[in-house]
Amino acid sequence: MKHQEESTSSVSFDAHVSRLPQNGMPVRIEADPAQREALAKDHDLLSVERYVAELLVAPWKRHGVKVTGRVEADITQACVVTLEPVTAHIDEEVEGLFLPEDSKLGRQGFEGGGEIMLDAEGPDSPETFSGDTVDVGALAEQFFGLAIDPYPRKLGVTIDIASQEPAEESEFQRKLKSLLGKS
């Protein structure tokens, strides 16, 4: 999300960084029917019945922005085995840090030539933004997308794998066994 103009989120919401109160600005995004239809299409879902993101957008460091909150949704997907509808509830924590693209803090680790320590379980590194807005709706949609089960299965459905008869022993395998003294 380097430039906000690139955002194609159907639940886009630009928060003005320069106007943020010190205690943060609460943002609630509740998708209307057209937005829910677009979310379903964008994420290969049968439908999105409900989508709500409740976020707090607050100043961070000198010119940065910290976004925290939750995204909740009720969705319907196709079962990967039977293609029947499977409903799911998403309740995902949202957290993101943003720095202006010209910020020294954002460039320090990447242009310093030194090592960068990454923690897979730790927070993500800050993203950069240009201008005076950050699309917090697109951030919430990213967390929504990550929470979707990529292989939904209807309760009790299993994949039957056909049993395979043991293949005939090849000539090479017979010779190898005879050389090793196995019968």
Q: Please say if the pLDDT value at position 7 is more than 60.
A: no
Q: Please say if the pLDDT value at position 25 is more than 80.
A: yes
What's the pLDDT score for residue 5? 45
Q: Which position has the higher pLDDT, 138 or 161?
A: 138
**Total residues found in the chain within this entry:** 183
What's the pLDDT score for residue 118? 58
Whole-angstrom Cα distance, residue 66 to residue 134? 10
Which range has the worst mean pLDDT, 68-72, 78-82, 178-182? 178-182
Per-residue pLDDT, averaged over 35-47, amounts to 96
Q: Which position has the higher pLDDT, 19 or 87?
A: 87
Q: Please say if the pLDDT value at position 181 is more than 90.
A: no
Residues 6+ apart with CB under 8 A from 70: 53, 54, 91, 92, 93, 94
Kindly compute the dihedral angle of the four CA atoms of residues 66, 50, 36, 72, in this order, to the nearest 10 degrees.
20
Whole-angstrom Cα distance, residue 123 to residue 127? 12
Q: At residue 110, what is the residue type?
A: F
The pLDDT > 70 percentage for the chain reads 78
Per-residue pLDDT, averaged over 48-73, amounts to 94
Whole-angstrom Cα distance, residue 103 to residue 112? 14
pTM of the model: 0.74
Per-residue pLDDT, averaged over 98-105, amounts to 78
Facing residues of 58 across strands? 66
Whole-angstrom Cα distance, residue 134 to residue 97? 10
